Amino acid sequence: MNEKHLELLNALNEVRDTLPGGAENAPSRTRIISILKQIMVVLLPEYYQYRGMSQAEALTSFEGELVSEIADAMALQNAVEKDPALGGDLKTTAETLAEQFVAALPEVKRLILTDIQAIYEGDPAAKSKAEVVLCYPGFFAISIYRVAHVLYKLGVPLIPRIMTEYAHEKTGVDIHPGATIGEYFCIDHGTGVVVGETSTIGRHVKLYQGVTIGAKSFERDAEGKLVKGGKRHPDIGDYVVIYANATILGGTTRIGDHVTIGGSAWITFSVGAGETVLR
């Protein structure tokens, strides 16, 4: 290394992360994606392969890795958050959370199978369920959301976001792991779909490309800083169809059952059951 490069490295290393604890305990994004791929082998071994692992081998491998990554994620959260209330030592807590996650996988698979069914039945272009699993970006994003949502509900920091942002990167579908989504969920085409953290979506809901289920505005504190948390995103009922590029905003917005929202509609108000909204 020449003197010029050494001076640059020294200058870069003098610029420090201002967050307490820095990023030394952050989970590895590469490793999380590897774990996610193993999880997909466990859930759908007929369709997914990873490094030649069998379903049993993938389960054994990711369980061990997941404990370590959960512990690292919680360690970082512990450094950044004032009171994460994790309880117990990190290793024990991580092991407990990993066990709870693994126990939830049968239900995750059941939900994923309903999503496959909804997409297959909802798109005349789908010739088989295998095509849905292997080719549809909407299904890919939904399945990763289903996995990440379990970890989010368990209170695991960072890892669920890494998972869903990986899906976002690959598909253009941005589903926050905190969203609550019922069974038989269908995203057709997918690109540009956004579903916010505090959204709730019922059963048998179909979204087309470009749909946003987002926040209308953000509260600020006395210093003008954004207030974290709170209900910011809409609630969508059962058997709702939302066509391309529609935007539905606001934490008090409620879309009733059996509603149809037309393409490019801008909705910041509640809609009663059975209505059709075209604007």
Tens digits of residue pLDDT in 76-133: 766 544 344 545 678 888 999 999 999 999 999 999 999 999 999 999 999 999 999 9
Q: How confident is the model at residue 224 (pLDDT cuts 50, 70, 90)?
A: confident
| pTM for the full predicted model | 0.90
- Mean pLDDT of the 58-79 span: 87
Does the domain at 179-279 match CATH 2.160.10.10? Answer given as yes
Q: For the chain, what are the domain ranges? A: 32-173, 179-279
- Mean pLDDT of the 151-180 span: 97
Q: Could you identify the residue written with the tokens 């399945």?
A: 143
Higher local confidence (pLDDT), 8 or 198: 198
- Mean pLDDT of the 188-195 span: 97
Does 179-279 match 32-173 at the fold level? no
Residue 17, pLDDT > 90, answer no
Query: Cβ distance 266 to 231 under 8 Å?
Result: no
Pick among 1.10.3130.10, 3.30.1960.10, 3.30.465.10, 3.40.640.10: CATH of 32-173: 1.10.3130.10
Per the prediction, the chain carries an average pLDDT of 91
Beta 235-236 vs 174-175: how paired, if at all? unpaired
Tell me the angle at which helices 137-153 and 159-171 cross, rounded to the nearest 10 degrees: 170
219 C-beta neighbours (distance < 10 Å), count: 12
Tens digits of residue pLDDT in 141-160: 999 999 999 999 999 999 99
Q: Which residues contact residue 238 at a Cβ distance below 8 angstroms, ignoring those fewer than 6 apart?
A: 182, 202, 203, 204, 205, 257, 258
- Mean pLDDT of the 58-75 span: 92
Q: What's the pLDDT at 81?
A: 43
Q: What's the pLDDT at 143?
A: 98
